[in-house]
Amino acid sequence: MTVVRFVQRWLLVMMLACYVLAGVLPAPGEALRALALPVPAVAGTVTLPMVLLAVMLFNAGLGVRIAELRGVASRPVRLMLGIAANALLPLLVLPVIALVLRTWPDPAEVEGLVVGLMLVLAMPIAGGAASWGQNAGGNVPLVVAMVIGSTLLSPFTVPFGMRVAGRLVGPHGAGVLDDTTKVDMIAGTGAGVFALVAVVLPCLAGVLARMLLGEERVRRVLPSVKAVNAVNILLLCYINAAGALGQALAHPDWDLLVLALGLSGAVCFLAFRCGRWMSGWTRCDQPDGISLTFATGMNNSSAAAVLAACWFSHRPEVLLPILSYSLLQKIVAGVAGKPPRSRPGKEAHRRPAPGAHASGTAAHP
């Protein structure tokens, strides 16, 4: 477990290393992403990134303790607020971004950036929010309940987000562009099926597996789960980044790279600030406020990158804001998630932060 702790501690550095490797040596990543198994029943294919994502989400579900979520049901307002804030924020932010970007000289780049940002913001709350929230002293059962609720809603929120993106880059938005029809098609079929099959079902399967196996057996396998998650995170980072960064660095467009990074950073910071503002507005206690902040600010960027790589592998500008957001939300979470200083006489009143489910849900980068 020393290796796993090392990876968790240096995860950001290793993610950066994966991005660099994907930029200078993209061919193996593109070959891995192209691996696919045909599924005649649905007339589609299952790719290696989809399998890695499903394993990651299964492990996340395996880390959820249902018994610890019962207390959350007694205070449903904060639970629903966190889920709603994460789902509705992109509907407020993306139209403003699309309006500002209308002055950008290349409308195709605008389309890619808007679609990429909507993809990542439309995804459910990242399970990693539980781990970051735990480190900061948050109410872990509350944020885990938010993750589950957001995940269950994803077959509806993801297609709806894509429909909004289609309107923003369509004739009344940035202009009539080549992939507008594809965005509408994904919203009509692909996104909902993807969210159900690749996000919801693996997570629920993990929750069910924990209930069937029992706490003792799960406790014994959790070290292996952590190891698998560490490998999954880094491998997915490399595979998802290989196509986008390889193309971007082969023919660098520095204005686009800076714009993608700047937009992702601004939206990420705004999401965390929105969560913190709502925690103050609703007068949450500190643990609940921390949970609300991380649930609002963190999205499952891995799922967004897998979906984008499936449908927009020829458009690196779609993946660039997703990859940027994936990295930046961890940086912001690290700054916002520093463990609170212990106050004399207050330690006994601190809400316990159970670790089992955090180890599983940390699988959502």
Q: Show the 3-state SS of the chain.
A: CHHHHHHHHCHHHHHHHHHHHHHHCCHHHHHHHHCEEEEHHHCEEEEHHHHHHHHHHHHHHHCCCHHHHHHHHHCHHHHHHHHHHHHHHHHHHHHHHHHHHHHCCCHHHHHHHHHHHHHHHHCCECCHHHHHHHHCCCCHHHHHHHHHHHHHHHHHHHHHHHHHHHHHCCCCCCCCCCCHHHHHHHHHHHHHHHHHHHHHHHHHHHHHHHHHHCHHHHHHHHHHHHHHHHHHHHHHHHHHHHHHHHHHHHCCCHHHHHHHHHHHHHHHHHHHHHHHHHHHHCCCCHHHHHHHHHHHHCECHHHHHHHHHHHCCCCHHHHHHHHHHHHHHHHHHHHHCCCCCCCCCCHHHCCCCCCHHHHHHCCCC
Structure tokens at 150: 């957001």
Structure tokens at 156: 């509806």
Q: Is residue 348 part of a domain?
A: no
Residue 164 belongs to a domain with what CATH number?
1.20.1530.20
Predicted local distance difference test score (pLDDT) of residue 99 = 81
Of 161, 213, 206, the closest CA to residue 187 belongs to: 161
Q: Provide the number of structural domains found in the chain.
A: 1
Q: Is residue 345 part of a domain?
A: no
Q: Is residue 241 part of a domain?
A: yes
Predicted local distance difference test score (pLDDT) of residue 218 = 85
Per-residue pLDDT of 161-202, as tens digits, reads 777 777 776 554 444 444 555 665 666 665 677 777 778 888
Q: Is residue 2 part of a domain?
A: no
Q: Is residue 346 part of a domain?
A: no
Predicted local distance difference test score (pLDDT) of residue 337 = 60
Q: Is residue 4 part of a domain?
A: no
Q: Is residue 87 part of a domain?
A: yes
Q: Is residue 344 part of a domain?
A: no
Which residues form the domain of 240? 9-339+353-361
Of 318, 285, 323, the closest CA to residue 301 belongs to: 323
What Å distances lie between residue 241 and 37, 113, 116, 156, 219, CA to CA?
21, 15, 13, 27, 33
Residue ranges in the chain modelled with pLDDT below 50: 43, 172-178, 339-340, 342-364
Q: Which pTM was predicted?
A: 0.78
| Torsion angle of C-alpha atoms 108, 302, 339, 140, degrees rounded to 10 | 120
